[in-house]
Amino acid sequence: MMRLIFIWIAGSMLLFSCTGKTKETVQPIDVATLTSRRVTVEEVIQTTAYTYLRVTENGKDVWMAVTKMDANAGDVYYYDNGLEMLNFESEELGRVFDRVLFVEDLRIQPNKTMSMHHGMTGHGLKEADSAREDLQLEPVAGGITIGELYKNRETYSGKKVVVTGKVVKVNKEIMNRNWVHLQDGTSHEGKFDLTFTTNESVEVNDMVTFEGTVSVDKDFGAGYFYELIVEEASLK
């Protein structure tokens, strides 16, 4: 399941399970777009899908969460965009973090060409982040293809649609929902990967049919912007 990263969390986003979840009392807040901020790793905690990093930034301790990666104390990284969660609970760790910054563009150099992660947790999709699958899926009766939806997104804005596709990415339990990326083999102007928010549980490589409401130019703040997203999707 990047515009992800996704603000309540995150801004999927881009988009955490860890496997972590937020409590009902969590009050996510907006984080201003950050520019080439430098952090030094002090502590690393690995989980099944994600890596938690306790870092220092300008002399202050900050917890970050990123897609699982190799990291060690003393490593130096840079990032631009972050999504802050307060009172975030990781079920896998059995721990509640007072504050966690979810980061999708962590990199080893200040410039953006060295980004280590793509399309993290709820963040808006960048097509280059997901390899295009070789698929030839037909929509169900009354359904629509991803390519057609991108082509006529304004027409479908605010309307319910039914889409069949293959799950190519899942980011779970972000903003109390799962962020699922589907492909069906169709495209429009290079756009072939569509994000759905859902409470349904699906896994990568599942073939699914979702019904949900189309939103266009959805801005979750902090740079988390989706040109097209299908929200509150349910399995058909």
pLDDT (tens digit per residue) in 138-177: 999 999 999 999 999 999 999 999 999 999 998 887 777 8
Q: Tell me if residue 156 falls in helix, strand or coil.
A: helix
Q: Among 116-120, 178-182, 223-227, name the one with the lowest average pLDDT.
A: 116-120
Among 91, 114, 137, identify where a domain stops: 114
How far is it, in rounded angstroms, from Cα 48 to Cα 133?
Answer: 25
Task: Over range 95-122, report the average pLDDT.
Answer: 69
Domain count, the chain: 2
Residue written as token pair 């982040």:
129
Q: Is residue 98 part of a domain?
A: yes
Task: Label the pairing between strands 37-46 and 76-79.
Answer: antiparallel
Q: Is residue 194 part of a domain?
A: yes
* One domain, residues 150 and 189: yes
* One domain, residues 203 and 142: yes
Length of the chain: 236
Among 55, 89, 114, identify where a domain stops: 114
* One domain, residues 141 and 106: no
Q: Is residue 99 part of a domain?
A: yes
Question: Is residue 226 very low, low, confident or very high in pLDDT (cuts 50, 70, 90)?
Answer: confident
Is 121 a residue whose pLDDT tops 50?
no
pLDDT (tens digit per residue) in 74-105: 999 999 878 888 888 888 899 999 999 988 88
CATH at residue 77? 2.40.50
pLDDT (tens digit per residue) in 7-37: 344 444 443 444 444 443 344 333 333 357 8
CB-CB neighbours of 60 under 10 Å: 8
| Strand order through the sheet with 82-90 | 20-22, 82-90, 95-103, 60-67, 50-57, 37-46, 76-79
* One domain, residues 24 and 106: yes
Q: pTM score > 0.85 for this model?
A: no
Task: Over range 188-209, report the average pLDDT.
Answer: 94
Is 43 a residue whose pLDDT tops 60?
yes
Q: Is residue 12 part of a domain?
A: no
Among 77, 93, 114, identify where a domain stops: 114
* One domain, residues 149 and 199: yes
Which range of residues forms the domain containing residue 208? 127-235
